Amino acid sequence: MPEYKSPVRDIKFVMQELLDCETHYQKLGYEDATIDMVDAIIGEAAKFTEQVIAPINQIGDEQGCTWNNGEVTTPDGFKEAYQQYVEGGWPTLAQSIDFGGQGLPHSLNTAISELFSGANHSFAMYPGLSHGALATIEEHGSDFQKNTFMPKLVEGVWTGTMCLTEPHCGTDLGMLRTKAELNEDGSYSLTGTKIFISAGEHDLSDNIVHIVIARIPGSPEGSKGISLFIVPKFNVTENGEVADKNAVSCGSIEHKMGINANATCVINFDGAKGYLIGEVNRGLNCMFTFMNAARLGVATEGVAAAEASFQGALAYAKDRLQMRSLTGVKNPDGPADAIIVHPDVRRMLLTQKSIAEGGRALVAYLAQLVDIGHASKDEAEKAATEAKLALLTPIAKAFLTEVGLECTSHGIQVFGGHGFIKEWGMEQLMRDTKISCLYEGTTGIQALDLLARKILGSKGEILKPFGAEVTAFCVANAGNEAMQEFIQPIMTFGGDLQKMTERIGMKAMQNPDEIGAASVDYLMYSGYLTLAYFWAKMVKVAQDKLAAGEGDSAFYEAKIKTARFYFQRILPRASGHAACVENGAVSMMELAEDDFSF
């Protein structure tokens, strides 16, 4: 099993040197978030990750969760690790001080979430879902709901879930059948079945707070008639204490491809007591608070998977001896050279490294945008921030999980036959990561959201704030000769993206299927280009540090060389996606349904 090491140096590079988190935090009023404080928190998170969470990753996969008469038991060590997580104050980090939180920035918490996910994806999901539940209640809940549910959720002694999917409907939530009937006391009775509920039942916390979508009788059909409810596993007293068991039960847990140590549950509501969040029939609007937070979290999972797989593959490639280098013996004292000398192994390792580090920069940038949305008093700044988040969230979620999954495949490949053997842990990373491509809307759903609803729906207006930022960076570095190999491709691919968008819009007026046919390739093109921008920014920081003679020169030189690999060997993939977009929908749609045969 690979020994996970928290990538502290690179996290600090991204937060402190690339994104200047100190200035960012001070500007937003996070006065306690000094560099010393950030360093201390990340350091402690690294210790907790490596000493507590990582060691139970493999046993969690082997044992999985067990279901018995409606109760779920997590694998050995999970309950004790979660108790240490709570005692360490980790759930409170970025939560409101009004409800017992520490009031630190969301972006700091995001960096720590990557460590937890990279070390143990299954474990990280238990507290991870609580963040979305908290964000939803805090933004849309009543004072009663906030005071009743948030303190224990913030503390971590209660956990949260998101209950959307039903047996007959997944993405098309308008088809839901779960109903909510008004009680005399103003609460509701919910009846229905939800499936694929992550962390829906477990033995880690004293209560589980379900955030549930349902339809009130008489509401409109489809998504316009969806309302949102808080439904606790145990009813809660006026003082916020656990009372009697609510009519909520776990019917079973799924037997899955991966994340076996996280319980994925069938949850039955049999007249369960719940509380309406927000307005009647406005549930989907409220739910997007949870879903958007979750999508950034899932993007982080993609980065974490790429990093973990890279670490395992790198250690093996340095140790495994196979064949001699084509350019001459590199290990004269051994029977063969380490496989890291071979170009194809380096291709896979550098793919993993460039995706992990570029993705980390993108996620950290988005997390800082969330900080601005929470704390800025500048309405114009917040509006631009919201546009950037709306544009980049589906790109980050879908692109980083797709390439993150690719990186786990490379990890297996570097190990050769040993990568297919469970004891090495590399195949677990791939199994655990595939779900991230499906969570919170599949890649296809994210792509439609990006292209149809946001870009074409806004007539391209949503592209302008982030596009202006990228353009400003390119213009500022136009005279820097050392930056040209990175600036020119961004300008070329960026110009082509604009033309591609216009052509899709024109085609779609004649045939709406052109949008669906182009959407995934369009998103992947956008993802490769977006990562190129962040790699170029990292190069500029590294060049400046080297010129000033500051810091670890080897680290900065490696940044520039990794960026060069990305621009020369990864970014060109975007051209293939552009060609697919250009070829349109005809070849996808001309085969009749009856001709799909075997």
Pairs from 511-516 (Cβ < 8 Å, separation ≥ 24): 511/585, 513/585, 513/588, 513/589, 514/584, 514/585, 515/448, 515/451, 515/452, 515/456, 516/448, 516/452, 516/585
CA distance 407 to 429: 10
**Phi, psi at 394, each rounded to 5°:** -65, -35
Exposed (0-12), middle (13-18) or buried (19+): which is 1, by Cβ within 10 Å?
Answer: middle
Determine the longest span between alpha carbons in the chain, in angstroms: 83
CA distance 138 to 302: 27
Q: Give me the amino acid identity at 437.
A: C
**Phi, psi at 197, each rounded to 5°:** -90, 105
CA distance 201 to 292: 23
In the numeric block, the tokens 């052509």 are attached to: 503
Listed in sequence order, the residues at least 6 apart from 390 whose beta carbon sits closer than 8 Å to its beta carbon are: 454, 462
Q: Minimal CA–CA distance to 393: which of 523, 574, 223, 571?
A: 523
Supply the residues annotated as catalytic: 440
Listed in sequence order, the residues at least 6 apart from 454 whose beta carbon sits closer than 8 Å to its beta carbon are: 390, 391, 394, 462
CA distance 190 to 179: 6
CA distances from 278 to 226, 282, 361 (A): 11, 7, 35
Listed in sequence order, the residues at least 6 apart from 346 whose beta carbon sits closer than 8 Å to its beta carbon are: 340
CA distance 554 to 571: 24
Mark 424-439 as b/e (b = at least 16 C-beta within 10 Å): bbbbbbbbbbbbbbeb
**Phi, psi at 226, each rounded to 5°:** -95, 130
Beta carbons of 87 and 155 less than 8 angstroms apart: no
Element counts in the chain: helices (H) and strands (E): 19, 11
Listed in sequence order, the residues at least 6 apart from 530 whose beta carbon sits closer than 8 Å to its beta carbon are: 362, 392, 395, 396, 399
CA distance 269 to 198: 16
Which residues share a beta bridge with 163? 212
Q: From start to end of 278-424, where are the E strands?
A: none
Element (H, E) at 252: strand 248-253
SS3 212: strand
237: tokens are 């007293």
